[in-house]
Amino acid sequence: MHPVTTIHLTSHFKKSFKKLSRHLQEKAVEKDTLFRIDCFDPCLDTHKLGGELSGYWSYSVDYHYRVKFRFIKDHEVIYFNIGTHEIYR
């Protein structure tokens, strides 16, 4: 288990989150809860990003939506964005 105790939100993440439908917001909160308990739970499909996004990670909210984040310390992360694969551009 890999608990995350602190999550920082960028202003970009906050804006993107507010634009999501209520249903997606609720699903994102559910996944965030799971992420805080175990950031590598198989249900999240947490994975490293490559190329220009090397150093960033992502986990799945649903089939289309992802959260892009970065580890600061072992139990601390920053959420940079939430959205479709467009967040990788």
User: Mean pLDDT across the stretch 19-47?
Assistant: 97
Residue 16: CB atoms within 10 Å: 20
pLDDT in tens, 57-85: 999 999 999 999 999 988 999 999 999 98
If you average pLDDT over every residue of the chain, what do you get?
Answer: 95
pTM confidence score = 0.93
Bridge partners of 79, per DSSP, are 9, 69
Rounded CA-CA distance 22/25 in Å is 5
The pLDDT tens digits for 39-60 are 999 999 999 999 999 999 999 9
Sorted by where each starts, the structural domains of the chain and their CATH numbers stand as: 6-88 (3.30.2310.20)
